Amino acid sequence: MKGSALILDFESRKELDEYIANEPYVVENVWEKIEIEPINVVIANGKR
């Protein structure tokens, strides 16, 4: 595998940090590097 991406939605940075603290791949050091970037979601035809 060359890489992977997760697109998640959290109400706050605190919720994101709590998720990361308990995420199995993070806890078990599966990923060498984690980058967190905000994104904009475009809604077309009223659907996400």
In a domain, 47, yes or no: yes
Tell me the three state secondary structure of residue 23: coil
Range of the domain at 31: 8-48
pLDDT for res 1: 57
pLDDT for res 45: 82
Give the mean model confidence (pLDDT) for residues 27-47: 84
In a domain, 1, yes or no: no
In a domain, 3, yes or no: no
* Residues 19, 10 contacting (CB under 8 angstroms): yes
Number of domains present in the structure of the chain: 1
As a whole-number percent, the residues of the chain with pLDDT over 90 amount to 38
pLDDT exceeds 80 at position 34:
yes
Secondary-structure percent of the chain, ordered helix, strand, coil, rounded to 5: 30, 5, 65
In a domain, 28, yes or no: yes
Model confidence band, residue 28 (pLDDT cutoffs 50, 70, 90): very high
